[in-house]
Structure 1
Amino acid sequence: MAKTDSFATFLIIGPTCFFLGILFSSFPYDYNVLWTTPPDREVYFKILEDHIKFLYASPPLISRILHIVIGTGIVGFLMKLYRATEANYLFDGASLVLYFAGILVYITNIVKGFRVVTAGIYGNVDKPVEGDEPEYISREDTLRVFAASNTILALVLVGVLTLQAGQYYALKKEEAEIAAIEEEEQDKKKAGKKKQ
């Protein structure tokens, strides 16, 4: 594996682990909203709602750092795909698709969830057509979608890490096979010289 590939892999794995850490820190808030049914669930909805409002009210520096880290991961992918081998196309191409899927989940569900929860505007804000009853998404459902989006994003990022680990394993296995073939050829050459 070339040094630039190793550095590019670091640029991919670093941000991915960073985001998984952020999602892990949100897991205690999401757990009781999504995975269990405690007797008084309203308390947990309120805690998650307060947590989301707190994060949204954080200084702009926080979101800028987050976006720089997202960009760092993309730079890592571009570096690996610049002079790509077949392994890069397979593993890094699939990783890039997952990474962009994660970015889409972040933009469409998480950022939108931050705005909706902070504004406190739940449900469909479009005017209903006459005769139709408006369809509203409740506060609880909005918070569940936000928590589920965190889980989906975590699974996508684990997929990126798995593909990167798979690529590393495949390249190491290929290097070992090439070394074994070269060693076998050298043994044959030595055996041929001894016969002469």
Structure 2
Amino acid sequence: MDPGKVSLFKTYDKPKGQGGSGSFATFMIIGPVCFFLGILFSSFPYDYPLLWTSVETPAAYYDQLETHLKFIHASPPIIPRILHIVVSVGFCGFFIKLFKPSEANLLFDGASLVLYVIGVVVYITNIVKGLRIVTMGLYNKVGDELGVEGIGREDSLKVLAASNTILALVLVGVLVLQAGQWYAERKEADEIAKIDAEHESKVAAKKDKNAAVTRSASKKRQ
């Protein structure tokens, strides 16, 4: 039985450079990912005192952080629009690479797309929601409505900082998978080149042997 018919997804043999790690679609993925990592890195100095140090965070710092987050959430509409356009560029890159995918595309780009979607979900459910809570000051409100203890101001800011860290790790995972695809394709190309070189050397040796036999036969006839 043909293994290609057993596979859940039909794969294709793509020409070199089409849909691979060196294609333009790959840069459409890596560019937005690096863009978002840069944004998250700029937020790291604000998140560090909340998560990455054992020193007690002063109460005044929460006021400064809250002011900073409110300023970000009150950005002009053009800022989130640019952000959403960059997100869309990343999705377009994935869809281009996964159109008539090869086995490498299914493995590396499929997993990268899953991580990318997880990152978008974290952004929508945690970061955007957290910014709205900070702006409106709705700490503990959900818990009060349900009759349980809600998340206070400090914990809400820590959750927002942790969400930034989770998103950064997810995006780094996308870069690792894309680098893995590049390495796998490079090793495959090296192996193919080695096999082709061995085949050409065998063909050349066979031609030389045949030529030698022909020359010896002609000398005997003379």
* TM-score range for the pair, normalised by the shorter chain length: over 0.9
TM-score (norm 2): 0.83
Query: How many residue pairs end up in the alignment?
Result: 193
Work out whether 1:2 is the aligned partner of 2:17: yes
**Partners in 1 of 2:113 and 2:89 — Cα distance?**
13
**Partners in 2 of 1:81 and 1:59 — Cα distance?**
35
* 2:37 maps to which of 20, 30, 54: 20
**Cα distance, 1:126–1:40 mapped onto 2, change above 3 Å:** closer
* 2:185 maps to which of 151, 164, 171: 171
**Partners in 2 of 1:18 and 1:134 — Cα distance?**
39
Find the counterpart in structure 1 of residue 170 from structure 2.
156
Maintained 8 Å contact 1:45/1:140: yes
Maintained 8 Å contact 1:109/1:146: yes
Per-residue CA distance 1:117-155 (angstroms, 9 max, x = gap): 0001101436556xxx53111000000000000000000
Deviation at 1:49, TM superposition (A): 1.1
**Partners in 1 of 2:190 and 2:108 — Cα distance?**
19
Maintained 8 Å contact 1:33/1:41: no
**Partners in 2 of 1:86 and 1:77 — Cα distance?**
14
Deviation at 1:45, TM superposition (A): 1.7
Deviation at 1:59, TM superposition (A): 0.2
Find the counterpart in structure 1 of residue 214 from structure 2.
none
Find the counterpart in structure 2 of residue 116 from structure 1.
133
> RMSD between aligned alpha carbons?
1.4
Maintained 8 Å contact 2:69/2:131: yes
**Partners in 2 of 1:33 and 1:47 — Cα distance?**
13
TM-score (norm 1): 0.94
Give the stretch that moved more between structures: 62-71 or 39-48: 39-48
Find the counterpart in structure 2 of residue 45 from structure 1.
62
Find the counterpart in structure 2 of residue 71 from structure 1.
88
Deviation at 1:46, TM superposition (A): 1.8
**Partners in 1 of 2:19 and 2:102 — Cα distance?**
13
Larger Rg: 2
**Partners in 1 of 2:97 and 2:25 — Cα distance?**
6
Work out whether 1:95 is the aligned partner of 2:112: yes
Deviation at 1:3, TM superposition (A): 5.0
Unpaired runs of 5+ residues, structure 1, are: none
- The letter of the residue matching 2:149 is E
**Partners in 1 of 2:143 and 2:154 — Cα distance?**
20
Deviation at 1:37, TM superposition (A): 3.5
**Partners in 2 of 1:50 and 1:37 — Cα distance?**
23
Maintained 8 Å contact 1:122/1:142: yes
Percent sequence identity over matched residues?
A: 61
**Cα distance, 1:40–1:93 mapped onto 2, change above 3 Å:** closer
Maintained 8 Å contact 1:122/1:136: yes
